[in-house]
Amino acid sequence: MKEPTEKEQHDFSQQNIEDLLLGMGVEFRNPEKASGGWLPLEAYDDKEFDTRLPQHWLNNPSGVSAQGLWKDKDGLCYWRKLRIMKYLPKTDRFEGFWENTREKVRLQRIFIHFSEEDPKVFARRFAAAH
Closest CA to 45 of 127, 115, 118, 117: 127
How much is the pLDDT for 7?
64
Domain span including residue 75: 6-28+49-129
* Average pLDDT of the residues in 102-107: 97
* 68-92: average pLDDT: 93
> Does the residue 112 lie in any domain?
yes
| pLDDT score for 38 | 57
95 lies in a domain? yes
- Is residue 38 in some structural domain? no
Residue 1 has pLDDT above 60, yes or no: no
Q: Please name the amino acid found at residue 93.
A: R
What pLDDT band is residue 104 in, cutting at 50, 70 and 90? Answer: very high
pTM for the model: 0.82
Structural domain contains residue 41: no
Nearest to 88, CA basis, from 65, 68, 75, 107: 107
The predicted-structure confidence for 21-77, as pLDDT tens digits, reads as follows: 888 888 777 766 665 555 577 878 888 998 888 988 898 888 999 999 998 888 888
φ, ψ dihedrals at 23, nearest 5°: -65, -25
